[in-house]
Amino acid sequence: MVGLFTVAPLFAWGATLDSKWIKEDLSKPDLSAKYWSGIQEETVTLMAQPMVAPRPKETNTSSISVQSLHDGKWISFRLKWKDPEKNEAGRLGEFSDAVAMQFPIKSNENPPPIFMGAKDNPVHLFHWRAQYQRDQEKGKPEMRDLYPNMSVDMYPMDFKDTGHLKAMTDERKEVFSPGKIEGNPQSYRKFAVDEIFAEGFSTSSVSASHEAVGYGKWENGRWTVVISRPLNEGEGGSILQAGKNSFMGFAVWQGGKGEVGSRKSITMVWVPLSIAPAKGM
Based on CB atoms, which residue is closest to another protein, 27 or 262? 262
CB distance 44 to 11 below 8 Å: no
- Closest by CA to 198, choosing from 129, 109, 103, is 103
Minimum distance, C-beta of residue 213 to another protein, in the bound complex (Å):
21
Is 183 one of the binding residues for another protein (CB under 8 A)? yes
Of 198 and 225, which has the nearer Cβ to another protein? 198
Alpha-carbon span 104 to 98, nearest angstrom: 20
Compose the 77-106 pattern: x for residues touching another protein by CB under 8 A, - for all others: ------------xxxxx-x-----------
Q: Which stretch binds another protein (CB under 8 A): 73-81, 197-205, 223-231, 235-243?
A: 197-205
Distance CA 109, CA 187 (A): 37
- Taking the least distance from each CB to another protein, the nearer of 50 and 272 is 50
Q: Judged by CB under 8 A, which stretch of 11-19, 159-167, 170-178, 228-236 contacts another protein?
A: 170-178
Residue type, 81: W
Residue 278 CA to residue 188 CA, distance in Å, equals 38
159 lines the binding site for another protein (CB under 8 A): no
* Cα(276)–Cα(103) distance, integer angstroms: 17
Query: What is the total count of residues that contact another protein (CB under 8 A)?
Result: 40
Residue from 262, 272, 274, 278 binding another protein (CB under 8 A): 262
Instruction: Encode burial over 255-267: b for 16+ CB neighbours within 10 A, e otherwise.
Output: bbbebbebbbbbb
Binding of another protein at residue 120 (CB under 8 A)?
Answer: no
CB closer to another protein out of 2 and 53: 53
Question: Among residue numbers 205 through 234, which ones bind another protein (CB under 8 A)?
Answer: 205
User: 63: exposed, middle or buried (C-beta count within 10 Å: 0-12, 13-18, 19+)?
Assistant: buried
Binder of another protein out of 84, 139, 179, 243 (CB under 8 A): 179
Residue selected from 120, 170, 182, 219 as contacting another protein according to rule CB under 8 A: 182
First CA to last CA distance, the chain: 46
d(CA 209, CA 232): 13
Residues that bind another protein (CB under 8 A): 52-57, 89-93, 95, 142-143, 146, 150, 152, 155-157, 175-184, 186-187, 201-205, 260-262
